Amino acid sequence: MKLEEYKTHLTINEKLSLRSITEHCNNMKRFHSWATQEQYTSIDNLTYLELLNFIKQQKTNNIKVQTIKLRLNSISKYYEYLKHIGIIERNPTKKIKLKGELKTITQNILSYTELEQLYNQYLQLQQPKTNNPTTPFVKQRNNVLTGLLIWQGAISGEIAKMNLDHINLNDGTIYIPKCKRGASRELKLYPNQILQLYKYINEGLPQLQNSNNQKQTTNNPSLTPKSLSLFLGNIDNHIHHILNELKGINQKVHNASQLRTSIIIHWIKVYGKRQAQYMAGHKYIGSTEKFELQEIDGLTDTLLKHHPFS
C-alpha cells in the first residue's frame, strides 16, 4: 500500500486538512489489515466483490452504516489516487451504493445434496387417503411444481404463464417465460423431472382439466378452459401447500425464495456468474453478484474468521 504517497496526494491534490488526512489514512490502515487477514497480496487490485466482502465484514462487526460509508470514502479516494498515477484504470468502489443496512438475501442456504434429498423425499411422500378422486393427480402436479421450484428456481409469476408448448421432453428442456421480475430462458430438466412431467402431462393434467371443466360448466357454461395451461388454479396456494410439506421433510426449509437462492448459488459455483445470470432470469448482472457475495460469505464461512479492528 502506497500510504505515504496517498497522504501526499490528499495534501497537495485534494487539499484536505491534516485531521481529514489522518482519518483517511487510519481507515486505509484498517482496510489493509483486513486485506492481510484475508491473505490478499495487494489491495491495489481488489475487485468489486472483494470490496463488498469487506463491507459485509464491517457490518458483521456491528460497525454503523455511516462509519462504513466514511471508510469506503477513504478507500475510494485511494483508488482514485491509483487511477491518477496510472496503476489502475477503474475505481472498483464506484459501483457500490451503500444505503441503509446491508441485508443477506436469505438465511439457511441448502446445499446441492440437501436439495437432491429434499426433492427425492418429496416424490416419495405419501398423500393422506381421501375420497377425492383427483388426489393422486394433485400429487403429480405438486411433484412437477416442486421440481420447478428446486431445480429451475422458478417463481410463481413464471410458473403461472407456463403451458404445454414450453415443455420439450425429447430434449429434456423447459422454457421459462418472462414476467415482471425475470427474463425468459430455456433450462435443462433435472433427470427425474422428465418422468414426473411425462406422468403429469399424460395422466394428471387431463384429469384435473376434466374436473375443472365440470366446475366451469356448472358455474358458467360459456367459459372456455385454457387447454394449453400447464397448471390450473391459484399457483401461490399450490406453492404454499407444497412448502408446508417440504418443511415437514426438512426443518431448514423456509420459503420459495430460499430454494431459489440455493440453486442460484450452486449455478454460480458450477457455471460462473454470467451463465447463472441467464439461468436465473436476472436482467442485470448486479442481481447475480448479490448471490455471488452471499456464496462467498455463507458457503466459505468467512464471517466467522473476522474480528473487530483494534
Which residue has cell 398423500? 127
Q: How far apart are CA 128 and CA 34, in angstroms?
A: 55
The answer on pLDDT for 105 being more than 80 is no
Check if the beta carbon of residue 144 is closer than 8 Å to that of residue 200: yes
**Cell output for 289:** 453478484
Residue 162 confidence (pLDDT):
95
Higher pLDDT, 98 or 132: 132
Mean pLDDT of 253-282: 92
Residues 90 and 30: their CA atoms lie apart, in Å, by 22
Give Cα 224 distance to the centre of its chain: 38
> 116 or 66, which is more confident?
116
Mean pLDDT comparison of 18-32, 37-51, 163-177, 283-297, highest-scoring range: 163-177
Q: Is the pLDDT of residue 156 over 50?
A: yes
pLDDT digits (tens, 9 = 90+) for 44-103: 888 888 888 888 888 888 888 888 888 888 999 999 999 889 898 888 888 777 665 445
Q: Concatenated DSSP letters for 276-291?
A: HHHHHT-SSHHHHHHH
Instruction: Please give the share of the chain, as a percent, with pLDDT higher than 70.
Output: 85
Residue 301 has pLDDT above 50, yes or no: no
pTM of whole model > 0.75?
no
How far apart, in whole angstroms, are the C-alpha atoms of residue 225 and residue 216? 8
* pLDDT value for 223: 39
- Bridge partners for 185 per DSSP: 176
pLDDT tens profile 177-230: 998 888 999 999 999 999 999 999 999 999 999 887 766 545 554 434 445 899
pLDDT at 289: 75
| Strand, helix or coil for residue 20 | helix
Residue 128 has pLDDT above 80, yes or no: no
Q: Which residue has the higher pLDDT, 124 or 272?
A: 124
**Alpha helices (H) along 85-204:** 112-123, 135-151, 156-160, 191-199
Radius of gyration of the chain (CA): 26
pLDDT (average), residues 4-27: 86
